[in-house]
Amino acid sequence: MSPEDCVDLYRTMVRIRVFEETVRRYHIAGKAPGLVHLCTGQEAVPAGFISVLRPDDYITIYHRGHGHCIAKGSSLEALLGELLHRRGGVNLGRAGEPHLCDPATNNIGSTGIVGGSVPLAAGAALAAQLRGTDQVSVSFFGDGVLNQGVMFEVLNMAAIWSLPVVFVCEDNRYGEFTESATVTAGERYQDRGAVFGIPSDTLDGMDVLAVREAAEQAVGRARRGEGPSFLVFETYRFTGHHVSDQQEYKDSEEMRAWEARDPIPNYARWLADEGHVDDVAIARIHAEIDDEVEAAAKVADSMPHPGPEDLGTHVFA
């Protein structure tokens, strides 16, 4: 990776975090109503993984998916516009956060149903295989999906047909408000992939370079026609399941321990140690991204809401 690419990974993570904080602000101000799920703390997975994808590769995401949209190249204005439910949003302001997608970036999106987007990713991979393209499809999902039946069905089909799909489980330790370990059988989550003969691994999801390296291998395998992979990235959401969640179910020591592994400052230190950036450059990146997101927010907040004429369009193609 060139020094510029290394710094770009940092920019993507910072862009995601600043975006999330902006969304939180708008939610608290009542402008992004409904349920809002932030990925603060988990930025390394979307930033690192999607950095190895091509624009024509497919992704599916889940309710904690703003970071994936940003990493795949969605317009910040249109993305934020959607979260504010405005007509200029990426989905005309009617999908809202739980159903975000972005056709322009081959992001098939999130569907509001836990595990619901997993078969869609495998289906896009099937399309690529039938057409003979070398596109890859990546299914991002949380640890809650580990116990959804449809995931097992899809893993089986991905394995028997050697589909060009990568299953990426972002294990942030909690499915909504319940500690996943208390409701999930089996020694290791990655065994859910391994049992189907799918190359499976567990990796540090707080280390953006480790994520990228694993992504290069898994995506490369899929692109070469060598079939699916199942990767579990250990990560942590610094916020609640949604913005209003007070997280009383979490242990404060656990939270402190994970905050010490914050992927952004840790990667900044690595970049400095490698000589890619200095303190001035880091400060400049943050200032630039603050301005970029603020400018996008201003545009988004000035977009009109959908009108009555938008209620019934696109029911049928």
With contacts defined by CB under 8 A, name the span among 16-24, 41-49, 115-123, 266-274 that binds another protein: 115-123
Rank residues 151 and 271 by Cβ distance to another protein and give the closer one. Answer: 151
Residues in the chain: 317
Q: Which of 11, 24, 99, 261 binds another protein (CB under 8 A)?
A: 99
Regarding 183 and contact with another protein (CB under 8 A), the answer is no
Regarding 111 and contact with another protein (CB under 8 A), the answer is yes
Regarding 108 and contact with another protein (CB under 8 A), the answer is yes
Regarding 157 and contact with another protein (CB under 8 A), the answer is yes
The edge-to-edge listing of strands for the beta sheet with 58-60 is 107-109, 58-60, 137-142, 165-171, 229-234, 200-204
Beta carbon of residue 136, minimum distance to another protein (angstroms, whole number): 12
Q: Which of 5, 153, 226, 251 binds another protein (CB under 8 A)?
A: 153
Regarding 156 and contact with another protein (CB under 8 A), the answer is yes
Q: Which of 76, 120, 166, 264 binds another protein (CB under 8 A)?
A: 120
Rank residues 32 and 151 by Cβ distance to another protein and give the closer one. Answer: 151
What does residue 276 show for φ and ψ, rounded to 5 degrees? -80, -30
Beta carbon of residue 215, minimum distance to another protein (angstroms, whole number): 20
Identity at 59, one-letter amino acid code = I
Count of residues near another protein by CB under 8 A: 46
**Cα separations (Å) of 153 from 39, 146, 187, 248?**
27, 12, 21, 35
Regarding 32 and contact with another protein (CB under 8 A), the answer is no
Which residues inside 49-88 make contact with another protein, applying CB under 8 A?
58, 60
Regarding 222 and contact with another protein (CB under 8 A), the answer is no
The torsion region of residue 238 among left (phi > 0), alpha (psi -120 to 50) and beta comes to alpha
Beta carbon of residue 88, minimum distance to another protein (angstroms, whole number): 10
Regarding 90 and contact with another protein (CB under 8 A), the answer is yes
Beta carbon of residue 148, minimum distance to another protein (angstroms, whole number): 10
Q: Which of 91, 229, 235, 239 binds another protein (CB under 8 A)?
A: 91
Rank residues 158 and 219 by Cβ distance to another protein and give the closer one. Answer: 158
Rank residues 57 and 207 by Cβ distance to another protein and give the closer one. Answer: 57
Q: Which of 118, 208, 264, 277 binds another protein (CB under 8 A)?
A: 118
Regarding 308 and contact with another protein (CB under 8 A), the answer is no
Q: 3-state SS of the chain?
A: CCHHHHHHHHHHHHHHHHHHHHHHHHHHCCCCCCCCCCCCCCCHHHHHHHCCCCCCCEEECCCCCHHHHHHHCCCHHHHHHHHCCCCCCCCCCCCCHHHCCEHHHCEEECCCCCCCCHHHHHHHHHHHHHHCCCCCEEEEEEHHHHHCHHHHHHHHHHHHCCCCEEEEEEECCEECCEEHHHCCCCCCCCHHHHCCCCCEEEEECCCHHHHHHHHHHHHHHHHCCCCCEEEEEECCCCCCCCCCCCCCCCCHHHHHHHHCCCHHHHHHHHHHHCCCCCHHHHHHHHHHHHHHHHHHHHHHHHCCCCCHHHCCCCCCC
With contacts defined by CB under 8 A, name the span among 2-10, 124-132, 195-203, 206-214 that binds another protein: 124-132
Where do contacts with another protein occur on this chain (CB under 8 A)? 58, 60, 89-92, 94-95, 99, 101-104, 108-109, 111-113, 116, 118-128, 130-131, 137, 149-150, 152-154, 156-157, 160, 313-317
